Structure 1
Amino acid sequence: MTAIAVTIAGSDSGGGAGIQADLKTFSALGVYGASVIAALTAQNTKGVTGIHDVPPSFVTAQIDAVFSDLAVNAVKIGMLSHPDVIAAVADGLDRYRQNKVVLDPVMVAASGDRLLAAEAVDVLRRVLIPKAMLITPNLPEAAALLETAMAQTESEMQEQGEKLLALGAKAVLMKGGHAAGAESVDLLIEPHSVARLAAERIDTANTHGTGCTLSSAIAAGLAKGLPLAEAVREAKAYVTAAIAASDQLKIGHGHGPVHHFHHWWGERKD
């Protein structure tokens, strides 16, 4: 059987994040990728200049087209900017009985541009988070979901993760990329365990699409049948290597993308 993962997210016309990053990640990790585009963005490495929401009825049409035909093993959900689109996606997950769902609650791009309408946050909390096997908020996203200040310590990260579990998710990966320190520490928080995943913090401006890549890498692992904790660890290792190799690429004039195909392309010799 061919492992299949579907990304339900927004596009990135610059190719570094969103649907484009997800499909690159699936391919790099040996998983067939399909997509449901929920929004279009006019975007590059310097920022987002426009967002065009796909009508909920057409999001539904894409979901029906993909899930009625393909034997989908896992789903990654990214940018859903409108409440009605969030509801359409939640209905689709129920209709096709999808339970290996990785939800990346994308709210703000790396450039600082807001991607999720304020009125959509409550719908995300109530309707979609309870359907997720795993949610992967960074520290600002976790704070926004809980309407509190951003966590500053690992104990605060754990406390916020446990509060997010109470919203109905089966597990929470609190991403510590926005924290300080020599290590980038993520916490995988499940109802009866907490796992600390640390990697050396890499000094680079080329981090565009990091969150999208991590969540889609986890979905790829789940699609291949890995247990959640193992899928998260392998995804963390893949993203860390992609960030470390990002300076090999010369893309754009802002925050460049991570290097999804670092294992195959090798280092450029300019």
Structure 2
Amino acid sequence: MTDTPARAGLTPSEQRRQEVIAIERFAFNVTLPILLEVGADTVLRATGTLFRIAQRRFVITARHIFDNVDHEKFGYPESPLQGGTSTFGTANYILPKEEHVDVAVIELLDEKTIQCLDTNWQYLSLDNVAPVSGSTSDNAFFVSGYPGSLTEMDRGWVKGRLVTAYTQRMRSVPSGAEDPIVPGLDLFFDYSGEATSVTGQPIQTPELPGVSGASIWEVVDNVSGVWSPEAATRVVGVQSAYIHSKYIRAKSWLAVAQVLELADEQLAAAVRSKLA
């Protein structure tokens, strides 16, 4: 994972394990459960990732989570560990008309929401985004999100568990994947019943309802200079679908640029420039 010297007193496996913990903690602080008010109840709807671009604050998630729901009922937990819930308030929901561009952008405009998220959460920037490696890459990828089966409400507080599933990119389109499949837009990753973590240990893969909209991250093998989770990872896609024991499907960040273009061409151009 890194080309820097081993930390004093740590074996390579121990160092890798510490790096994995740091990476998952980094992802935890920017990965936002998206909640939905249903009558008197609040339920987990999806997962999003917080980004600050040009001093504007966004949640990147999947478009299909908006089907047949009231946007004003969407909300978030006030703290990453556990906390009361609030609705997003005033926000600009940027949704593509094409269903296969399964990415949505929420621009946060409500001052109370912004203050709460600025205080308790963290944001990524375009520095954390990159195009996915070539199809011959053996780099590890992972998706971090909040499965509905592990998230619950307790007396008005949300309690959830962030799950990180490690995988590899599939080198061809899997059989059974629904059309349309757009080269450069659609990405596929292995999702067998058992996966391998970046420590090399086998892990059982969870069911992923509630993880829709989560970021797909790539772990960079060679980090120049001082190792950090920011330097060792990059966001390459947005999770859109999965079939357990077969694959995870995602949209590349080119889809985010396509959606942002509906609201601000300069922001879209900045994303495309970063991915070029």
Name the TM tier (shorter chain).
under 0.3
Instruction: From the CA coordinates, give the structure whose radius of gyration is larger.
Output: 2
Report which of the two has the higher share of strand: 2
Higher relative contact order (CA 8 A, sep 6+): 2
**TM-score scaled by length of structure 1:** 0.26
**TM-score scaled by length of structure 2:** 0.26
Report which of the two has the higher share of helix: 1
